């Protein structure tokens, strides 16, 4: 059995608190927490820099307007909050992919990055297919 790092949060407590945040978000604000729409909107904002007329015509971007909204700020807060927690907890380090992936996917960083990207793409596709 692995020894738990005493500096980190208990994963059961963190999961329970995350669940409460979701319940309160829906109950108080009527908003579901998620990230997939944020990535789509960000892609739309980036595409708008190059071809704004195309983005303005696409039916999808008429429904999911490429803009910074509460959900975009929520996702930005996830990145900022996790970075702050790692820095203040002394756990921060630059790491592209977990070292344990080397045992599963081999020593090639390119292969491991491809597998990570592919898994993320499949998860994002599924999330968008289910409308977030």
Confidence of residue 5 (pLDDT cuts 50, 70, 90): low
Q: What are phi and psi of 84, to 5 degrees?
A: -60, -40
Residue 73 scores a pLDDT above 60: yes
Q: What is the mean pLDDT of the chain?
A: 85
Which DSSP string do the residues of 81-121 spell out, in sequence order?
HHHHHHHHTT-----SS-THHHHHH-S-HHHHHHHHHHHHH
Q: Exposed (0-12), middle (13-18) or buried (19+): which is 91, by Cβ within 10 Å?
A: exposed
Q: Which residue has the higher pLDDT, 101 or 43?
A: 43
- The domain ranges of the chain are 1-33, 35-90, 95-132
pTM listed for this prediction:
0.65
């Amino acid at each position: 059995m692995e020894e738990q790092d005493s500096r980190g949060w208990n994963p059961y407590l963190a999961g329970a608190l995350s669940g409460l945040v979701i319940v309160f978000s829906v109950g108080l604000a009527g908003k579901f927490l998620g990230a997939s729409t944020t990535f789509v909107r960000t892609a739309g904002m980036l595409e708008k820099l190059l071809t704004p007329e195309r983005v303005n015509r696409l039916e999808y971007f008429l429904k999911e307007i490429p803009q910074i909204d509460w959900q975009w700020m929520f996702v930005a807060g996830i990145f900022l909050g996790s970075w702050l927690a790692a820095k203040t907890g002394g756990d921060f380090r630059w790491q592209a992919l977990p070292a344990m992936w080397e045992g599963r996917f081999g020593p090639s960083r390119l292969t491991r990055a491809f597998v990570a990207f592919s898994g993320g793409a499949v998860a994002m596709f599924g999330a968008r297919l289910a409308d977030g």
